[in-house]
Amino acid sequence: MGQILGLHYLNPFWWVGVAILGFKLFALIDAAVRREDAYRAADKKTKGFWLAILGAAFGLDLLFGVDLLYSFLTIAGLVAAIVYMVDVRPAIKELTSRGGGGDRRNMGPYGPW
């Protein structure tokens, strides 16, 4: 019975670490599939910059492990992935979506209605 309770997947911090690693991987893959010119058009840092930051964040977590409580590298990488997902990704997605700027069916001269 003690061996069952000692498994890593029963530890909630292990699940948080897996979720953080998955989130960083998703951000890295998303940054890799976006076009280079969309980054410049959205007035954001270059694609190479984001790939380097997100790749380093993901790679360091794979190398040293995800430690949310004590590792500065894990937290810094998580902040970088969050910044990419809430700032850079929506700006690029809006520029590269079909129609050249998103859904404009309900757009008036001064914005949505």
Per-residue pLDDT tens listing for the chain (113 residues)? 445 555 677 788 888 888 999 999 999 999 999 999 999 999 999 999 999 999 999 999 999 888 877 789 999 999 999 999 999 999 999 888 765 555 556 666 676 66
**In 10 A of CB 68, how many CB atoms?**
12
Q: Judging by DSSP bridges, how do beta strands 111-112 and 107-108 pair with one another?
A: antiparallel
- Please indicate, yes or no, if residue 4 is contained in any of the structural domains: no
State which residues form the domain around 81.
28-97
- Please indicate, yes or no, if residue 21 is contained in any of the structural domains: no
Give me the pLDDT at residue 26, please: 98
- Please indicate, yes or no, if residue 47 is contained in any of the structural domains: yes
- Please indicate, yes or no, if residue 18 is contained in any of the structural domains: no
Q: How many domains does the chain have?
A: 1
Give me the pLDDT at residue 96, please: 84
Give me the pLDDT at residue 6, please: 55
Give me the pLDDT at residue 2, please: 46
The single-letter DSSP state of residue 98 is: G
| CA–CA dist 89, 16 (Å, integer) | 23
- Please indicate, yes or no, if residue 12 is contained in any of the structural domains: no
Give me the pLDDT at residue 97, please: 78
Structure tokens at 108: 């008036």
